[in-house]
Amino acid sequence: MLQNLAELQKSRLAINTNNGYWERFVIAPCANKLLQLIAGFQFINANHLRYFSLLFGMSAAYFFVQADPFELIAGAVSVQVSFIFASMSGQLASLRQESSGSGTWLNYFSDRFKTFLYISALTWGFFVHHSIEFYISFAPLNKLIDLFFNADTLFAMPVNLQLLLMAAKPVPAWFIWPLAFLAFLFIDFLNQDSKGETTILKKIYAQLPILKLHTATQLFLISLLAAFDMVLTLLVVFTLIGGLNSLIYLISNSRDPK
């Protein structure tokens, strides 16, 4: 037991620093503390923790479908609890040097399945809540203009542009589905193995780390924006960053195929 705890302390230093700040400084340390409580129970293995992670992921999806403010918060918390169990499973497998094809497959399937559940559940809840249509407003852009420019800047713009910034535009509710599909498509692309990153792409990631959008960052954004009922913003962010990342990836590979 004491030997295991010592190894657990060392395992904190071995945490992959490429997994993003949220996992590195929050999720992984929390998982490590909890893992110290169960490391001595040999009947608990990494797959058991993966099942718990999947269970909390499915619970999060259930809460997201309800689209109620309090249940969205509960779903956001469940996402992070699921992430903690996933981190615990990886640390336990590393600690005991357990590696199996079934464990690798379960880990891959669980991560993809949970991401699909989160996006689908949030989208379905948004669609049912709005039913026919929702409105897009550029009011936040107005506030940004007022913050950085003179108050008269807005009125100095062309009248048509003023009306566009001040008006709320109706959008059919079904539009959320193709947007969600694109968001999930790009998230899945970002979750692929990064061994094929080119020199150009690595330099871009070094300058703009947000483009990397690690799994930890994805789950952090899902929890944060879902908790504030900003589902549309969440999907747009994933689509824009993922789309830009994919475009840069393709261009960089065409110029630097090695």
Kindly list the structural domains of the chain, giving each domain's residue range(s) and its CATH number in brackets, ordered by start: 2-131+167-255 (1.20.120.1760), 135-166 (no CATH)
> What are the backbone dihedrals phi and psi of residue 68, each rounded to the nearest 5 degrees, phi first?
-85, 140
Looking only at the bridges linking them, the beta strands covering 133-137 and 168-172 are: antiparallel
Polymer length in residues for the chain: 258
Can you tell me the distance from the alpha carbon of 87 to that of 239, in angstroms, rounded to the nearest whole number? 26
The two structure tokens encoding residue 108: 């891959």
pTM exceeds 0.85: no
Nearest to 187 by CA among 237, 144, 252: 237
Can you tell me the distance from the alpha carbon of 249 to that of 213, in angstroms, rounded to the nearest whole number? 13
Q: What is the DSSP string of 184-201?
A: HHHHHHHTS-GGG--HHH
Secondary structure class of 116 (helix, strand, coil): helix
Burial class (CB in 10 A: 0-12, 13-18, 19+), 246: middle
Can you tell me the distance from the alpha carbon of 227 to that of 229, in angstroms, rounded to the nearest whole number? 6
pLDDT tens-digit profile, the chain (258 residues): 445 555 555 555 545 556 677 888 899 889 888 888 887 788 888 889 999 999 999 999 999 999 899 999 999 999 999 999 999 988 888 777 776 666 677 888 888 899 999 999 999 999 998 877 777 766 655 555 566 666 566 566 676 766 666 666 788 888 899 999 988 888 877 776 554 555 666 666 665 655 667 788 889 999 999 999 989 989 998 988 888 877 777 776 666 554
The two structure tokens encoding residue 62: 């259930």
Residue with tokens 């549309």: 232
**DSSP single-letter state for residue 68:** -
The two structure tokens encoding residue 84: 């903690």
Residues 6 or more apart whose Cβ sits within 8 Å of residue 45: 92, 96, 98
Residue with tokens 């504030």: 228
Amino acid identity, position 171: V
Amino acid identity, position 16: N
> What are the backbone dihedrals phi and psi of residue 15, each rounded to the nearest 5 degrees, phi first?
-65, 135
Number of other CB atoms surrounding residue 78 within 10 Å: 23
Secondary structure class of 137 (helix, strand, coil): strand
